[in-house]
Structure 1
Amino acid sequence: MVELEKRLSWVYLVNLVFYIAPFFYIDYSLIDYLWMMLALVAFVGCYYWIGRSDTTQMLLPILLMALIASCITPLNYGSISMFAYVSFFIGFAYNFRQFLAGVAALIALLVLLDHFFIKGAPYFLLYGSALVLAIGVLGVLDRIRRLTMLKEQRSAEEIKQLATMVERERIARDLHDIMGHSLSGIVLKADLADKLMQQQQYELAAQHLKELAQIARESLSQVRQTVSGYKHKGLAGEVQLLSGKLRDAGFAVDVQGEMPALSAREETAVVLILTELVTNVLKHSHGDQVQIHFGETKYGHQVMVSDNGKVSELKQGNGLTGIQERLAALNTKLEWQLSPSSFSFILPKEA
């Protein structure tokens, strides 16, 4: 928008028609014409100088424009239009107090010119003062408009940067939750295959290696999906997969209750939270039984993962931090207890 206005800045020079008009109905000498043309060229040069300057660098060209207008006034009373440009740029470049001081100085200059040089133009001072004041106010309004536009642009950039940061955090959190679980499964399958091969149970070892390859392929697919948004098989399907991986690791799994109907956003969050909690069981639990419980309370849908392992202390790493961030986005929080370990949360019905 600003660049477009710069390209069309010549359009605003049309107001100099009031300066050029006397060329055609007043009988000037050749020297007078030359002086007036020289003043016009210098004035237009200062105009484009201002257009390419920062507001902190406009003082000199503004003063030169005022000087040119003052010097040419005894020859051409249409210089009033030049003073209007000066007033506009003062309003545009400076704060309101400075604008008032600048306009007062311009009107004082018009008074002096009217007193010493103006002949046969009784309304020069009246018209000039009114024009300077009115056009100056337009400059002030344009300054306010530009500042508002800049603030909106900065706000839009800040929102874009914030959205980028949020997306990076989401990808990092999803990669941790998804890949942590997948890599745990790969390690588990590799260890089982190694033990079976040592026991010369090659067929079972080959089966586990096939499953390991499948987990690796799914992990690659999930990494790609994480960039554009995690896609899963639904809460029931993911719980079934998680239960299978727990059973492969030697846990007895009991899924209780009826799974709730959730929005896509809630379901994705619950799937990733359950994935992280099951990963923690596979990594740290010394038990052999896991219970995944779904229930209803008066506050909302309850989800709980518990096992009979004994844990003396809980170290909060990236996994638990990611869970808490996901739950905070759903206006809830994670609760837990140790020995036996139990992790639960309640999804508010209005979430």
Structure 2
Amino acid sequence: MLELEKRLSWVYLINLVFYVAPFFYINYSLVQYVWMTLALVAFIGCYYWIYRSPPSRMLWPILLMAFIASAITPLNYGSISMFAYVSFFIGFAYNFRQFLAGVAGLICILVLLDHFFVKGAPYFLLYGSALVMAIGVFGVLDRTRRASLLKEQRSAEEIKQLATIVERERIARDLHDIMGHSLSGIVLKADLADKLLQQQQYQAASQQLQELAFIARESLSQVRQTVSGYKHKGLAGEVQALSGKLREAGFGVDVQGEIPSLSAREETAVVLILTELVTNVLKHSNGDEVRIRFSENEQGYQLMVSDNGKVAELHQGHGLTGIQERLAALNSSLEWQVSPCSFSFILHKEA
């Protein structure tokens, strides 16, 4: 989603100096000062409202900013700078046709204000129209730039995912080749040792068992070397993949919250834990809805997996034991309840 850069939002307020300047060289009454100050505060409030909103929800603050600028123009012609902000946000939030319509509407407002209210400022309409069109174009360009950056980011993520898939396929092929060859050798040695034992050729059988143990140790070493470079496709990618498996099995899936950025060690552990929890749902749940929720609090990052299946009691098997062992290594623990069935844990933040 396109967003405005909130970090520098306060910097751009400097353009309101053209609105504030008349405060110092025009003699206004106290009431007029109060009204102009209230208008300025309300305008800045709308400005930050827009910065907190996605483009689809910018319409109301934009309209309110345009209304404030129009209402205060009879007192302060520096409101031209306010119209420039409105034009920029229209260019950022809407497509080019909508931008042109919005700018045309603003210029019509300037024409009416110039005709009925502006006195002693012959260049109000000229400057205002030029500023609205120019600053609006900057909004359009900024939207285009951010859309391009977002597209590049997505492309980079897709390339990364494809590279991960290729790596996983390579590992799968290597494991297939290694294990196929090794297991064939182990079966052959085991059968031969069994026959030698039946024939009471104990020395020969012992030799075959020693070779079998060597093959097993060598296979274990090769497997470790193969998978040592294994890289999962990230927590977000795994959540998407597991959600797909649940949906294929007939479950409705609701993923809530923002997926946290974790260290490589924590992310790998969370991926394996989440995989085990989803596997338990696929095997044992009699429900049809699954919720995966990520949240953050003062303690750390929390993950909860729950479903609407009915469970009378929960028996702890190897899967839950393995999860607890992984969490213990991260100074965390697994909590669960059976009605509704849910599992949760917290990864504590570093002090």
Q: Which has the larger radius of gyration?
A: 1
Q: Cα deviation per residue 1:12-46 (whole Å; 9 max; x = unaligned)?
A: 11111111111111111111111011001110111
Q: How many residues align?
A: 229
What secondary structure, in the 3-state scheme, does the structure 2 residue paired with 1:200 have?
coil
Amino acid aligned to 1:57: R
Partner of 1:151: 151
CA-CA distance at 1:166 after TM superposition = 1.7
Q: How far apart, CA to CA, are the structure 1 residues paired with 2:198 and 2:127?
A: 104
Q: How far apart, CA to CA, are the structure 2 residues paired with 1:37 and 1:184?
A: 85
1:4–1:39 CA distance, 2 compared to 1 (3 A): closer
Partner of 1:163: 163
CA-CA distance at 1:7 after TM superposition = 1.9
Amino acid aligned to 1:126: L
CA-CA distance at 1:93 after TM superposition = 0.5
CA-CA distance at 1:228 after TM superposition = 3.5
Q: How far apart, CA to CA, are the structure 1 residues paired with 2:3 and 2:139?
A: 18
Q: How far apart, CA to CA, are the structure 1 residues paired with 2:13 and 2:167?
A: 48
CA-CA distance at 1:3 after TM superposition = 8.2
Partner of 2:75: 75
1:68–1:229 CA distance, 2 compared to 1 (3 A): closer
Residues 10-21 of structure 1 mapped to structure 2, 5 A cutoff: 10-21=10-21
What secondary structure, in the 3-state scheme, does the structure 2 residue paired with 1:74 have?
coil
CA-CA distance at 1:5 after TM superposition = 2.6
Partner of 1:26: 26
Amino acid aligned to 1:47: Y
Q: How far apart, CA to CA, are the structure 2 residues paired with 1:34 and 1:156?
A: 52
Residues 1-351 of structure 1 mapped to structure 2, 5 A cutoff: 5-228=5-228
Answer whether contact 2:89 2:136 (CA < 8 A) is retained. Answer: yes
Q: How far apart, CA to CA, are the structure 1 residues paired with 2:112 and 2:65?
A: 17
Q: How far apart, CA to CA, are the structure 2 residues paired with 1:54 and 1:3?
A: 6
What secondary structure, in the 3-state scheme, does the structure 2 residue paired with 1:118 have?
coil
What secondary structure, in the 3-state scheme, does the structure 2 residue paired with 1:155 have?
helix
1:4–1:185 CA distance, 2 compared to 1 (3 A): farther
CA-CA distance at 1:205 after TM superposition = 1.1
Amino acid aligned to 1:18: F
CA-CA distance at 1:74 after TM superposition = 0.5
Scaled by the length of structure 1, the TM-score of the pair is 0.63
Amino acid aligned to 1:145: R
Q: Cα deviation per residue 1:325-350 (whole Å; 9 max; x = unaligned)?
A: xxxxxxxxxxxxxxxxxxxxxxxxxx
What secondary structure, in the 3-state scheme, does the structure 2 residue paired with 1:220 have?
helix
Unaligned runs of 5+ in 1: 231-351
Q: How far apart, CA to CA, are the structure 1 residues paired with 2:8 and 2:149?
A: 18
CA-CA distance at 1:54 after TM superposition = 1.1
CA-CA distance at 1:229 after TM superposition = 5.2
Q: Cα deviation per residue 1:192-232 (whole Å; 9 max; x = unaligned)?
A: 111111111111111111111111111111111111459xx
Q: Cα deviation per residue 1:251-291 (whole Å; 9 max; x = unaligned)?
A: xxxxxxxxxxxxxxxxxxxxxxxxxxxxxxxxxxxxxxxxx
Amino acid aligned to 1:10: W
Amino acid aligned to 2:143: R
Q: How far apart, CA to CA, are the structure 2 residues paired with 1:191 and 1:121?
A: 104
Q: Cα deviation per residue 1:158-192 (whole Å; 9 max; x = unaligned)?
A: 12222222222222221111111111111111111
User: Any runs of at least 4 consecutive aligned residues in structure 1 with deviations exceeding 2 A, and if so which?
Assistant: 2-5
Amino acid aligned to 1:131: L
User: What percent identity do the matched residue pairs reach?
Assistant: 85
Q: How far apart, CA to CA, are the structure 2 residues paired with 1:70 and 1:229?
A: 63
Amino acid aligned to 1:226: T
Q: How far apart, CA to CA, are the structure 2 residues paired with 1:76 and 1:4?
A: 28
What secondary structure, in the 3-state scheme, does the structure 2 residue paired with 1:149 have?
helix
1:93–1:44 CA distance, 2 compared to 1 (3 A): same
What secondary structure, in the 3-state scheme, does the structure 1 residue paired with 2:53 have?
coil
Scaled by the length of structure 2, the TM-score of the pair is 0.63
1:161–1:213 CA distance, 2 compared to 1 (3 A): same
Q: How far apart, CA to CA, are the structure 2 residues paired with 1:91 and 1:17?
A: 22
